[in-house]
Amino acid sequence: MTDDTAPPGTGRPDTAGAPEGTRDKLVRTKQRWAEEGRLLTGAAGDPLRDRLPPGQRLVTDWPVLDLGIQPAVAEAAARLDIDGLVEAPLSLSWAELMALPQEERRNDIHCVTQWSRYDNDWRGLSVAALLARARPRAEARFVTMESHDGYTTNLPLADLDRPENLLATHWDGEPLSRQHGGPLRLVVPHLYFWKSPKWIRRITLIPEDRLGFWEVRGYHERGDPWQEERYS
């Protein structure tokens, strides 16, 4: 779940330090949370009124909760593809990405495991600007996203194509660390943070929703923190 819990990958992630069986055990635990509705309060919030969504607690550090899978993605191997239902598919190398205009954002982030962190300073690439370059076709309504470790998640296109969303390369003035998804991760601050995949490499526009890794294991297809959309 990105910074909630990183999933097992289908590529060749570096799993050093993860005891044998830890990954599968933690996946089963998180899946059981979904089955039991763990952490749900039954409350609803209003993002225009409430800065902290229901059931969340504020932290000042940035927790790293994963399954010991943190792929080492060299800049030479980092790239981003935007394909599927677009008029002008993009396949950009790291050098090509870094040649694009950089933008800055400050926002709060909310993890489905119940922590929130305020005032995160990011630098990176505007998602909306890249989507405009790719020119989505009229029938494109959803996206599926894939990371270098094989992780997948899904979003309505309308939730991805928002001005605050960023493909981040920096956090707090420093290059994004490997443990937090560097060199490139998505930041979609209005949804739970598992919808902001680390080590992202592909965004595919599709006509119908296609559930990702955690979504097929009981997590919500959208993930609005103010509506407590933790589970399906």
Least confident among 56-70, 82-96, 188-202: 56-70
**Per-residue pLDDT tens over the stretch 214-226:** 999 999 999 999 9
Q: What single letter denotes the amino acid at residue 28?
A: R
Grouping H, G, I as helix, E, B as strand and the rest as coil, residue 129 is helix
Average pLDDT score over residue span 148-173:
97
State yes or no: pLDDT of 142 exceeds 90.
yes
Q: What single letter denotes the amino acid at residue 3?
A: D
Percent of the chain with pLDDT strictly greater than 90: 82
DSSP-assigned letter for residue 82: E
Do the beta carbons of residue 160 and residue 141 sit within 8 Å?
Answer: no
Average pLDDT score over residue span 21-49:
89
State yes or no: pLDDT of 7 exceeds 50.
no
State yes or no: pLDDT of 5 exceeds 80.
no
Report how far residue 89's alpha carbon sits from residue 157's, in angstroms, rounded to the nearest whole number: 16
The ranges assigned to domains in the chain are 22-227
Amino acid 21: pLDDT: 61
Average pLDDT score over residue span 50-66:
92
Amino acid 2: pLDDT: 54
Average pLDDT score over residue span 73-78:
91
Do the beta carbons of residue 153 and residue 127 sit within 8 Å?
Answer: no
Average pLDDT score over residue span 30-57:
94
Average pLDDT score over residue span 131-159:
97
Average pLDDT score over residue span 8-26:
49
Amino acid 3: pLDDT: 60
State yes or no: pLDDT of 160 exceeds 50.
yes
Average pLDDT score over residue span 76-102:
97
Arithmetic mean of pLDDT over the chain = 90
DSSP-assigned letter for residue 166: E
Do the beta carbons of residue 144 and residue 157 sit within 8 Å?
Answer: no
CATH top-level class of 22-227: alpha beta
Q: What residues contact residue 102 under an 8 Å CB cut-off, 6+ apart?
A: 123, 124, 125, 169
pTM score, two decimals? 0.90
